[in-house]
Amino acid sequence: MRSRRTSRAMGVAAVALLALSACAANTGTETPEETAEGEGTGGNIRIAEVNAFSSFNASSSEGNVDINGVIAYSTHSGFNYIDNDLEVVENEDFGSMEVLSEDPLSVRYTVNEGVNWSDGEPVDGGDLLLQWAIESGYFNDAVTDDAGEVTSGTTYFDYAGDTTGLALTELPEIGDDGRSITLNYSVPFADYQVAFGLMNEGGLDTPAHVLADKGGLTDEDALIELIRTEPAGDPENPVERPELKAVADFWNTGFDTKSLPDDPTLFLSNGPFIASAVTPDQSMTLTRNPDYDWGPMPKVDEITVRYIGEAPAQVQALQNGEVDIIAPQASADTAEQLEALEGVTVVRGNELSYDHLDLNFSGVFAEESVREAFMKTVPRQQLVDSIIKKLNPDAEPVDSQLFLQDQEPYEESAANNGSEAYAEVDIEGAKELLDGATPEVRIMYNRDNPNRLNSYTLIAESASQAGFKVVDGGLGASDWSAALGNGTYDAAVFGWISSGVGVSNVPQIFKSGNGSNFNGFSSSEADELMEELVVETDPDAQNDLQVQIDKLIWDSKYGLPLYQVPGMNAHSDNVSGVEYMPNLTGVWWNFWDWQIAQ
């Protein structure tokens, strides 16, 4: 009885409240707006990024930041892209890339008719020529001394990518259709497929008509004329080129901005999306480019990028439905938090960076048997189990110096290069090789990186069992990389990043005397094979050569690759089509497949 009375009283109170709201003032908000702004057919997907956008030119050294790269990737088109099997996929809707002859290597790039910048101007031969001029370093005539100071001449376009490939080509001619250029290489270039117009590197991202205008030239034809008539840069006889310098200076810094410029020509798109709103250091909105039909069609109408630096903040934003996709820095805590969430899918995989142990070919390790003995003591499986497994349960030690597990030839190379000898720790074998000697080994690593510190600890412990006297040569984050190759240590644990596609990295690390060859590895046989490799254009032949080089490296007791760094992204179950991608394009690689699940 009583409870009925109380509930009746409450009902009366509720009715009274309702009555009160009935006599409320006219606020004009009685009918909630039904209009769904920004909500077309495909909807809106929100993704969290760690860094904040800073430039519409991701190819200059100032703009070369991951976030600028993915914005360039989603707002520009190109001749091909890399998929998550690390295969090159041609984008024939955009244009064609035709090998006219294998030797001498000659490739023709043609943009299809109807491919336009978002201001209506066609993407044409002038754009191709300008892109080539930027990426080939054709005009550069700067000379630098040992300290890195420019002593004479000028570097025009401050291009952050590698110019060595296109530097092999001569000044190209624009084809008669006005939409093509032909690149003629002086020697065959192994990575020619990804040397020009690769979407992962921004595709065709500089509109020539805009740069001509901003650089103080009358029109695009004047820029074409300038590129064609100015002589190639010659460091011996540097020449002043004020007109070109003005153009290059604008390219270097003119597209840097944290907000949306008032001048729409500064962020022209020729890809699926176009930037529509930017809040500096907070967020960026990309909306569908209405003209775009030359390549993979995105399923969503709008992508909102929000910058959230901290991994836990990204996880909570995902949990709170403020973002749909996150790609935080992988860590055990983050993995645990994400696993605990409902309605969230975690996608794991390997990144293309890997840690490795390099032994110097000098000092205590000058003797091959000592190197071999040390390699036998390295507990690679234990490293993977204790450092990586909690992030990526499928992780295994890397068994190749040239290929990573995501690359197709990995299995073949790993089976062939003799890596199985180091699959298990062999203390006895190491002792035998040392024959009672107790060499002192100083290992250098980045002490501020917990994974490297763990690696060092486990390696040192195991090596000392075989009689090595291990000295901790770890340095702080600000010092360790400067110490690389300076001879103050005997072994180093650090990381490389593989490009996944292409072979230019191989000689950079392993060729005698090259820039990133820190441990003094030198094999005339391998050098010859690498010389062959960089001019080999057939992918299968490239793989054969690399398998041979891999074996030579292992046979020389170079050191050991340890593990691939795990990566992780997560998305809400409202979104489908998100797939893991090991390379730097990351989760964005197939943004056109993202869609709102119904």
Partner 1 sequence: MVTYIVRRLVTAVLILFGASFVVYQLTALSGDPLEDLRASNAPNREQLIQARTELLDLNTPAPLRYFGWLAGAAKCLVPFAATCDLGSSIQGEAVTTSLLRAMGNTITLVTTATVLAIIIGISLGIITALRQYSGLDYGVTFMSFLFFSLPIFWLAVLLKEFGAIGFNNFLADPQIPGSTIVVVAIASGLIWALFAGASWKRKAVAFVLGAAAAAVLLTVLELADWFSDPGLGPIVILVTGVGIAFGIVLLTAGLRNRRALYASLVMVALGLVAYYVVNPILNAATVWMILAFAVLTVLVGIGVGYALGGYDRGQSMRAAALTGLLMGLLIVVDRFMVTWPAYVGNPRVRGRPIATVGAETPGLEGTFWITGLDTFTHLLLPTIALLLASLASYSRYSRASMLEIMNMDFIRTARAKGLSERTVVMRHAFRNALIPLATLVAFDIGALIGGAIITEQVFAFSGMGQLFVQALQRTDPDPIMGFFLVAGILALVFNLVADIAYSFLDPRVRVKA
Contacts of 365 (CB under 8 A, 6+ apart): 359, 371, 374, 441, 490, 491
Residue 146 binds partner 1 (CB under 8 A): no
> Residues 296 to 315: which contact partner 1 by CB under 8 A?
302, 304, 306-310, 312-313
Contacts of 237 (CB under 8 A, 6+ apart): 141
**Distance in Å, CB of 505 to partner 1, minimum:** 5
Q: Which is nearer to partner 1, 217 or 286 (CB)?
A: 286
Q: Which is nearer to partner 1, 229 or 478 (CB)?
A: 478
- C-alpha to C-alpha distance for 26 and 316, rounded to whole angstroms: 39
Nearest CA among 128, 158, 140, 126 for reference residue 230: 140
Residue 522 binds partner 1 (CB under 8 A): no
Q: Which is nearer to partner 1, 2 or 176 (CB)?
A: 2
Q: Which is nearer to partner 1, 112 or 276 (CB)?
A: 276
| Residue 24 phi, psi dihedral angles, 5° rounding | -70, 165
**Distance in Å, CB of 496 to partner 1, minimum:** 5
> Residues 70 to 109: which contact partner 1 by CB under 8 A?
none
**Distance in Å, CB of 284 to partner 1, minimum:** 8
Q: Contact at 8 Å (CB) between 81 and 198?
A: yes
- C-alpha to C-alpha distance for 530 and 266, rounded to whole angstroms: 42
**Distance in Å, CB of 479 to partner 1, minimum:** 7
Stretch that binds partner 1, among 26-34, 77-85, 170-178, 328-336 (CB under 8 A): 26-34
**Distance in Å, CB of 274 to partner 1, minimum:** 14
CA atoms within 13 A on the CB side of 117: 19
Nearest CA among 486, 550, 482, 496 for reference residue 518: 486
Contacts of 362 (CB under 8 A, 6+ apart): 487, 520
Angle between helices 125-136 and 220-229 (to 10 degrees): 40
- C-alpha to C-alpha distance for 485 and 396, rounded to whole angstroms: 28
Q: Which is nearer to partner 1, 481 or 488 (CB)?
A: 481
- C-alpha to C-alpha distance for 318 and 499, rounded to whole angstroms: 30
Contacts with partner 1 by CB under 8 A: the residue count is 87
Answer for which of 8, 39, 219, 454 binds partner 1 (CB under 8 A) is 39
**Distance in Å, CB of 54 to partner 1, minimum:** 4
Residue 167 binds partner 1 (CB under 8 A): no
Residue 46 binds partner 1 (CB under 8 A): yes
Answer for which of 1, 2, 4, 25 binds partner 1 (CB under 8 A) is 25
> Residues 450 to 489: which contact partner 1 by CB under 8 A?
477-482, 484
**Distance in Å, CB of 294 to partner 1, minimum:** 27
Residue 143 binds partner 1 (CB under 8 A): no
Measured between alpha carbons, how far is residue 282 from residues 256, 273, 306, 473 in Å?
16, 19, 6, 41
Q: Which is nearer to partner 1, 23 or 229 (CB)?
A: 23
Answer for which of 37, 236, 262, 435 binds partner 1 (CB under 8 A) is 37
DSSP state of 190: T
| Residue 592 phi, psi dihedral angles, 5° rounding | -70, -15
Answer for which of 381, 508, 590, 595 binds partner 1 (CB under 8 A) is 508
> Residues 351 to 390: which contact partner 1 by CB under 8 A?
none
Contact code string over 317-356 relative to partner 1, x by CB under 8 A: x-xxxx----------------------------------
- C-alpha to C-alpha distance for 341 and 318, rounded to whole angstroms: 9
> Residues 52 to 71: which contact partner 1 by CB under 8 A?
52, 54-55, 61-63, 65
> Residues 226 to 265: which contact partner 1 by CB under 8 A?
253, 256-258
302-307 and 44-49 strand pairing? parallel
- C-alpha to C-alpha distance for 83 and 516, rounded to whole angstroms: 28
Q: Which is nearer to partner 1, 254 or 296 (CB)?
A: 254
